[in-house]
Amino acid sequence: MSQANPNISANQPQIRQLDEAAANRIAAGEVVERPSSAVKELVENAIDAQATRIEIAYADGGKTLIRVTDDGHGIAQDQLALALSRHATSKIDGSDLLNIHTFGFRGEALPSMGAVGRLTITSRAQGADSAAQIAVNGGDIESVRPAALAKGSVVELRDLFHATPARLKFLRTDRSESGAISDVVKRLAMAEPHIGFILRDVSGGGEGRIVFRADPCNGDLFEALHSRLRTILGKEFAENSILIDAEREGMTLTGYASLPTYSRGAAVAQYLFINGRPVKDKVLIGALRAAYSDFLSRDRYPAVALFIECDPERVDVNVHPAKAEVRFREPGVARGLLVSGLRHALAGAGHRASSTVADATLGAFRPEQRPTAPIYQMDRPSQSALRVNHMAQQQGFNDSVTGYSGRVEMPTDTVQLDETSHGDHPLGAARAQVHENYIIAQTNDGMVIVDQHAAHERLVYEKLKKQMAQNGVAGQALLIPEIVELSESDRQTILDAASQLAEFALVIEEFGGNAVAVRETPAILGEVNAKAMLHDILDELSDLNQTQSVKDKIEAILSRVACHGSIRSGRIMRGEEMNALLREMEVTPHSGQCNHGRPTYVELKLSDIERLFGRT
């Protein structure tokens, strides 16, 4: 007869094996956090089943009903019961957890839902004579029975979390949960433009109302994606976005990104996909911000739908229970691809930079239609400021201007209109200056209106950046190095980034203990609070595993220098000066928008002008 171990206290907790019901409910807490999580898992299963049309219905924000119907290949009758057991899947063979080509592969979704709700699966496999149905209630699986279904599968989840009522208390309002479901479906619809999606709210009974509908899109991948994004993100985004198609070291980047002149006040329209899977990745979010850093102020955000495709073995999608996060084997390659691909596309999109404003201008002449986009306008000086500026004009500029800001100044050297004056130049030839800020130029097939201050600001900024790239960032050595005390981990983090920071003249060295010594700072920043700057950099490294802080501060200074050193609103320009500005804009990268993301010029085609006067 065995005796109890005298070294173990009678009150010490003993290790026990959890029963299957408890294990399933714990797994459900990881996989099914809220109704939208269940919708995501079920729709992904339908996509993996090669469905061409998927219909999602929900009631009361998904709390009382979620139903997903698809026309995919279905589940065989003898495999329905197996589909409800944990870690049972048809999508991997179990030996290779890196070579993942499908959405759902863990085999936890269906049993997790069955553990916390009332789940019914009706399916008819391809080639089967009839359909079959299986139900599970709070983990209790019923036997398979015959059912009526022409094709595909119908998965119905009722009374989510009825088996774990405490979880219901943590759900949000029906409206909030409905919004989360809609967002999940739209993200998946972006990833699969050739599949049709219908989302219904059947809270009132019957067929309910259609919340979202996206019919299958035809054409090649780019055409289908553009059409799908028009449906989901709107006509405005579709007309003010650029195609992204780049490749780097075996990774490809495709999709659409907004022009700088079309931006948002928050990061609410940034959709990123890895191998078709919607993800939220800090590395990619940081790269996105870096790519637009030259074009948008820090309080504005681009709208994008970008897809990175790579060998599945180069990215781990198994690091998060809901597969919402990924981990790249080579994060630097992914980040570099995103930054270079976006910057290259934006550099070639200067001609389109003001299309939003042009459309809105035309819309202003049609009272029955609202402008399709906001009109961004530089702040104009007051009349008193104009008079002061006029008095301070340099010799060579017209000094006969009055306080009337609507006067038109005709450059004497471009009055004669001939083909050679503008035929070879995309921005044409200057014909007038109005309101002492806007240059009117004639092109072969229309006209261009240029904001002289915004345009020159971008030109000066690009020159300053080029000089910095050629000559490096000038540093100023501190007479007495500033000693900054950090935690042990922060000290190591900042020293690991020291070589990167030294490129921007921020020189950091070990000092002893957990302290570092700041020996040199960028001269252009003037007097620097080194301790505050280091903590900003550490926060950024912790959040994004990379830092743009010093570079952003330097470029912000360059931007302000460019703003103050550029041609001001209210300055009268001679004809040759206006034409010189136009020629320089044509050869300068990113000249289509100023440093704050506003357009520098608007182009109106002759056909657009004729429309304004009813000539067409």
Position 361 pLDDT exceeds 60? no
Q: Which of 594, 359, 344 is nearest to 454 (CA)?
A: 594
Q: Which residue has the higher pLDDT, 411 or 158?
A: 158
Position 341 pLDDT exceeds 90? yes
Give dist(CA 456, CA 558) in Å, integer: 14
Q: Which SS3 state, helix, strand or coil, does residue 182 take?
A: helix
Give dist(CA 369, CA 328) in Å, integer: 47
Q: Which of 360, 156, 375 is nearest to 261 (CA)?
A: 375
* Range from 10-24, 306-320, 398-412 that averages highest in pLDDT: 306-320
pLDDT at 545: 63
173 Cα distance to chain centroid: 27
Position 295 pLDDT exceeds 90? no
Output the CA angle 440-446-452, nearest 5 degrees.
25
Q: What is the pLDDT of residues 554-598, one digit of tens each?
A: 766 667 666 766 777 788 899 899 999 999 998 888 888 887 778
Give me Rg for the CA atoms of the chain.
Answer: 31
Q: Give me the half-sphere count of Cα atoms (radius 13 Å) on the Cβ side of residue 223.
A: 5
Q: What is the pLDDT of residues 448-497, one digit of tens each?
A: 999 999 899 888 888 878 878 788 878 889 989 999 999 988 999 889 88
- Residue 18 φ/ψ region, left for φ over 0, alpha for ψ in the -120 to 50 degree band, beta for the rest: beta
Q: Which of 561, 549, 550 is nearest to 595 (CA)?
A: 561
Q: Which SS3 state, helix, strand or coil, does residue 367 take?
A: coil
Q: Per residue, what are the HEC states of 49-95?
A: CCCCEEEEEEEHHHCCEEEEEECCCCCCHHHHHHHCCCCCCCCCCCC
Note the pTM of the prediction, 2 decimals. 0.71
pLDDT at 557: 64
Q: Which of 38, 70, 299, 12 is nearest to 181 (CA)?
A: 38
Position 610 pLDDT exceeds 50? yes
